[in-house]
Structure 1
Amino acid sequence: MRVTTSLIYDKGIGAIQDQQSKLLQLQQQVATGRKAVTPADDPISTARALEVSGSKKLNEQFQTNQGYAKDALGLVENKLDGVKNLITYIREQAVAAGNATYSQSERDSVATDLRSRFDALLAIANSQDGTGEYVFSGFKGDTQPFSGSLAGVTYNGDQGERTLQVSASRILPVSNSGDEVFMKVPGSSNSLFGVISSLITDLENPAANMPNAVSTALTDLDSSLDNVLRVQASIGSRVNEVEALETISADLDTQYAQTISRLEDVDYAEAISDLTLEQTFLQAAQQSFLRVANLSLFNFLN
């Protein structure tokens, strides 16, 4: 093969350009902190990083939903604590009023007190969350679930349970309908409101058979309390599930972040070392080219 001056020049320039290209890529990596400055630099790692980033964003949405779920369940649990306390208080008053030594005026005082407790219970049943949705109306969040008075209370919601997707495979109920909590007393045809209303009516009626009235009220109140405790236990179980999922999601988030970093982030120590080395190679190529370029036939003849 004939080696011409033109060939020497072309090869020398080509070697310098190759070194400059490598140096530029390393400079861009150090400047951006990324291994692949463009997808074309490493298509496989770029595609994998995009896939993992998508999984990370989905996991972050699940984490957001888990927070919403805990808030919603915590609110329901708080309201049910209020219901439980009211039932316990009303039960205590019923026991006291059933005492044969109580006068009618004392029973009237208890009845007056229980009227205010009835109103407090109705207020809890019509509670709203921070967004203005009614807690116990089922799917009908914008509908006040309960209306009425001592004469009778009507449930205007439905039996639906609101849900949130808290993981890829779990859609969690985050509410309980007011029908389940307030309108259904196991073993009785009465609602919780009806039980309290009947007790108040009996207390205000001098002719009422007080022992029987109190006994019936206590049975129904105990059933109502058991029902509330059952719902609370269900909520507690769901809260525990969410907390377990929060731990799993936090671990996943860390794993995703580490994987993305491994695929995308440049190792600065290695990159700077390579940059210094490539600068040396470029300088050597430039100096070598200059020396060879000066070794032409005319220079020799001179």
Structure 2
Amino acid sequence: MRIATTTLFNIGSGNLQRHIADQAKLQNQLSTGRKILTPADDPIASARILDITQAKSIQEQYSTNSTAADSFMRLSDSTLDQVMNLIQNVQELAVSAGNPALGPAEKKMKDAELQGRYQELLGLVNTTDGQGNYLFSGYKGDVRPFTETTFGQVVYNGDDGQRLVQISDGRQIPISESGADAFQRIKNGNGTFVTAYTATNTGTGIVSPGEVLNSTAWANAPAPRDFKVAFQVLPDPLDPNKTVTTYDLINNTTNTSLIDGATIPRAAGTAFPRTYTEGGDIIFAKQTGETAAAWDFGVKLSVKGAPAVGDQFTVKPSSNVDLFATLGALSSALNNPGSGSTGGAAFQNQLNTALSDLSNALGNVLTVRSYLGARMKETESVNDTTEDLKLQHAKTLSGLQDLDYASAISEFAQNQMVLDAARKSFAQVQELSLFKYI
């Protein structure tokens, strides 16, 4: 069979070019470390690689988001911790101010310290994350949350929303807090009802915060649950040199006695239904020996000291009082401590109210911190899961696209040998031309 010279040249050239292309591909694989250089090398694997690469990029973004969210929440937690320390310092200040040995001048010195704490608090609640985002303005990150109108009175400019950060496919976690929830919506009194002295009191009675015995009974008491304890002081029938103090429980809405249903005010010089015992329980419920129909509002309180004729203490449902107003009221008390036994009792009642409100504020901030801590823990857990997914994606990608160097080097050497043989054989084929003999 005759084979044309051009055929020999074409076959040799084609084989040589194929081996050179194979060698170039192997060289490229070795230099990049990847066995798939173009989708044409393995279309199915290439599609899979694209999907996993995209998923890995998303997980990396979630990881970045989790880190940013955790940083923001940790700053919020640190700030709330400082607020708690501040409240505890103010509590210590209020307790020390109750020392009877302190005069008006010393109490004004206490107020000077309180003024500093107040300004410190105003700075803490307006803290930013260093990038201009306020921690406690709710959703309005660029709005300064609190502005002062007068001492003890602030306006909240934020909202009740929370900024959300996507930390996984199915979870957006809130990172910001509402300043109103943290520092303003604080229940006064014992959280259910609040007791308060009346400014017209002339005795030395000091009322306790009270205690809830039955929350359902209190909730079922006649709305708006506006009551008071009123005192009467009359000569003791058994000893004219002594007096007997009695008290009445009054519904301010109907101006009637809760104890016997009498209309208020009673006739002058009339003893009230119950006898007062200093520090004894004043229970808002029917007691043994009373003739009225059974009733029970589920609360009690006590009064220490000696109430005077006409002295009253109110009992109302708890309402919200902000931390700034509490500091403002304490400052007012320190600047106007009063004098004598009546002034001392009024001052102590004010201190007790401030201490109760500060305790509630401390508990409220602690509650906010607990919610924050739970979200920080969740962020940490989700981030751990994200890191596991990133590792799994990396392993899968490695299996799909990473080059087996041992196999590739062996193939490269083999192909190099074949390429060298092809070059030499093609050189010999070139010698077969008849033109060489002309």
**TM-score, L = length of structure 1:** 0.89
Alignment partner, residue 145 of structure 1 = 145
In the TM superposition, what whole-angstrom CA distance separates every residue of 1:187-230 from its partner, at most 9, and x where no partner exists? 34311111111111112113351221111111111111001111
Alignment partner, residue 357 of structure 2 = 220
Query: Offset of 1:11 from its aligned partner?
Result: 5.1
1:249 to 364, 386, 394: 386
Query: Match of 1:19, as an amino acid?
Result: H
Mean CA deviation greater in 93-102 or 47-56? 93-102
Query: Offset of 1:15 from its aligned partner?
Result: 4.2
Mean CA deviation greater in 217-226 or 35-44? 35-44
**CA–CA separation in structure 2 for the residues paired with 1:124 and 1:105:** 29
Query: Offset of 1:289 from its aligned partner?
Result: 6.3
**CA–CA separation in structure 1 for the residues paired with 2:400 and 2:356:** 66
**CA–CA separation in structure 2 for the residues paired with 1:235 and 1:19:** 65
**CA–CA separation in structure 1 for the residues paired with 2:423 and 2:142:** 77
**CA–CA separation in structure 2 for the residues paired with 1:23 and 1:89:** 78
5+ unaligned residues in a row in structure 2: which ranges?
Answer: 192-318
Within 5 Å, which residues of 2 pair with 1:258-273?
Answer: 258-273=395-410
Alignment partner, residue 119 of structure 1 = 119
Alignment partner, residue 155 of structure 2 = 154
Query: Match of 1:253, as an amino acid?
Result: K
Mean CA deviation greater in 197-206 or 262-271? 262-271
Taking a change above 3 Å as real, the CA distance of residues 14 and 26 of structure 1, as seen in their structure-2 partners, is same
Within 5 Å, which residues of 2 pair with 1:72-91?
Answer: 72-91=72-91
More strand by share: 2
**CA–CA separation in structure 2 for the residues paired with 1:294 and 1:180:** 96
Query: Offset of 1:137 from its aligned partner?
Result: 1.2
**CA–CA separation in structure 2 for the residues paired with 1:168 and 1:201:** 53
Query: Match of 1:211, as an amino acid?
Result: Q
Query: Offset of 1:281 from its aligned partner?
Result: 2.8
Alignment partner, residue 185 of structure 2 = 184
In the TM superposition, what whole-angstrom CA distance separates every residue of 1:87-134 from its partner, at most 9, and x where no partner exists? 101111111112333322222221221111111111111112211122
Residue 154 of structure 1: SS of its match in structure 2?
strand
5+ unaligned residues in a row in structure 1: which ranges?
Answer: none
**CA–CA separation in structure 1 for the residues paired with 2:431 and 2:91:** 109
Alignment partner, residue 304 of structure 2 = none
Q: Is residue 170 of structure 1 aligned with residue 168 of structure 2?
A: no
Alignment partner, residue 377 of structure 2 = 240
In the TM superposition, what whole-angstrom CA distance separates every residue of 1:258-280 from its partner, at most 9, and x where no partner exists? 22232222222211110111222
> Considering only aligned residues, what root-mean-square deviation do their CA atoms show, in Å?
2.3
Taking a change above 3 Å as real, the CA distance of residues 217 and 35 of structure 1, as seen in their structure-2 partners, is same
Residue 130 of structure 1: SS of its match in structure 2?
coil
**CA–CA separation in structure 2 for the residues paired with 1:175 and 1:29:** 50
**CA–CA separation in structure 1 for the residues paired with 2:410 and 2:157:** 72
**CA–CA separation in structure 2 for the residues paired with 1:72 and 1:290:** 73
Residue 100 of structure 2: SS of its match in structure 1?
coil
Query: Match of 1:125, as an amino acid?
Result: V
Residue 105 of structure 2: SS of its match in structure 1?
helix
**TM-score, L = length of structure 2:** 0.62
Q: In terms of Rg, which structure is larger? A: 2
In the TM superposition, what whole-angstrom CA distance separates every residue of 1:54-74 from its partner, at most 9, and x where no partner exists? 111111111111111111001
Query: Match of 1:191, as an amino acid?
Result: D
Taking a change above 3 Å as real, the CA distance of residues 15 and 205 of structure 1, as seen in their structure-2 partners, is same
Alignment partner, residue 94 of structure 1 = 94
Residue 35 of structure 2: SS of its match in structure 1?
coil
**CA–CA separation in structure 2 for the residues paired with 1:4 and 1:159:** 94
Q: Is residue 5 of structure 1 aligned with residue 3 of structure 2?
A: yes
For CA contacts below 8 A with separation 6 or more, give which structure has more relative contact order: 1
Query: Offset of 1:255 from its aligned partner?
Result: 2.2
Mean CA deviation greater in 141-150 or 275-284? 275-284
More helix by share: 1
**CA–CA separation in structure 2 for the residues paired with 1:259 and 1:134:** 42
Residue 216 of structure 1: SS of its match in structure 2?
helix
Residue 5 of structure 1: SS of its match in structure 2?
coil
Query: Match of 1:195, as an amino acid?
Result: T
Q: Is the 8 A contact 2:152 2:327 kept in 1?
A: no
Within 5 Å, which residues of 2 pair with 1:57-76?
Answer: 57-76=57-76
